[in-house]
Amino acid sequence: MIQRRGSRGLTLVEVMLTLVILVIVLGAAYMVLISTLEAQVNIDSSLQADRLGTRILSLVASDLGALRIYRLEKGPAFRVTDDPSAGLTREVHFLCTTPSILPDGDRTAPVNEVGYALEPNQGKKAGFYSLFRQEDFFADSESMSGGKRVLLHDRVRVFRIVWLGADETLPSSTRWMPTDKEQYPRRAEVFLSMSVDGEGTGDLAAKDFPEYRYKTAVTLASEVREGDVPKKKEGEEGDGTGEAGGEPDTFDEGDVGKLK
């Protein structure tokens, strides 16, 4: 008579060996997944920085290229506040012919008050600066103040404008008066260094974020060096953009297209 042997189960050693192999395989797969995700985050951050940094620089260059110097009733033709020890431009204000990029109905103006301001951040974004663009519809007696702010970016490391004469760098000046026309800058070099938010990087210190640097040179217009500011038309007494201060609007990358 033939006897059948019962099927033998797995031993404890075999089960443990199988689990070890499974853990190793899953661990390797997890490491590959994490590396892929980190690479994707880095690529996305780099693309985001490239798009945003390039567009911010394009906006600044467009405004500076449209800078005009008029004979004002009072105050400078344009004003700059530098921080030489930190290598930063804290504020710059001027008149320019850039069309308004802020909602203002159907009204247009041949000249607007435009400015940029760099302010240090507090809290979780300490170590970075916020860069604002300020615009006031048309020009009034207080041409270096007022208007509405738009936040361009809040992880700026460096924003600096170097003013150049015909052949050399001009000495640092806080303002240029209409009578200083022989010393007006002819070119400007704009430097921007910034970082961007990335997934899982919200708790990093400022020094640990990747840094992206941008630079451009702008030739300033020379055809309008003196003369009165164009007159406002009837019904254009208001600035149409509100007052500076309060909660600023956020920069929309599509706004740059309106400058073209």
CB of 204 within 8 A of CB of 163?
Answer: no
Least trusted range by pLDDT, from 113-127, 133-147, 243-257: 243-257
- Give the pLDDT band of residue 242 (cuts 50, 70, 90): very low
**Mean pLDDT across the stretch 12-36?**
81
201 Cβ contact list (under 8 Å, min separation 6): 208, 209
Least trusted range by pLDDT, from 140-144, 206-210, 237-241: 237-241
Report the 10 Å Cβ neighbour count for 125. 16
pLDDT at residue 228, as a whole number? 64
Give the residue among 221, 235, 246, 197 at the shortest CA–CA distance from 45: 197
Least trusted range by pLDDT, from 80-89, 134-143, 225-234: 225-234
pLDDT of 237 > 70? The answer is no
- Give the pLDDT band of residue 199 (cuts 50, 70, 90): very low
Using the 8-state DSSP alphabet, how is residue 169 labeled?
A: B
- Give the pLDDT band of residue 7 (cuts 50, 70, 90): low
pLDDT of 256 > 70? The answer is no
Give me 201's structure tokens. Answer: 């990087």
* 147-167: pLDDT as tens digits: 888 999 999 999 999 888 766
CA 150 to mean position of chain CA atoms:
10
**Mean pLDDT across the stretch 230-243?**
53
Least trusted range by pLDDT, from 95-109, 110-124, 149-163: 95-109
Dihedral, CA atoms, 161, 162, 166, 167, nearest 10 degrees? -160
**Mean pLDDT across the stretch 60-64?**
93
pLDDT at residue 224, as a whole number? 44
Question: Mean pLDDT in the chain?
Answer: 76
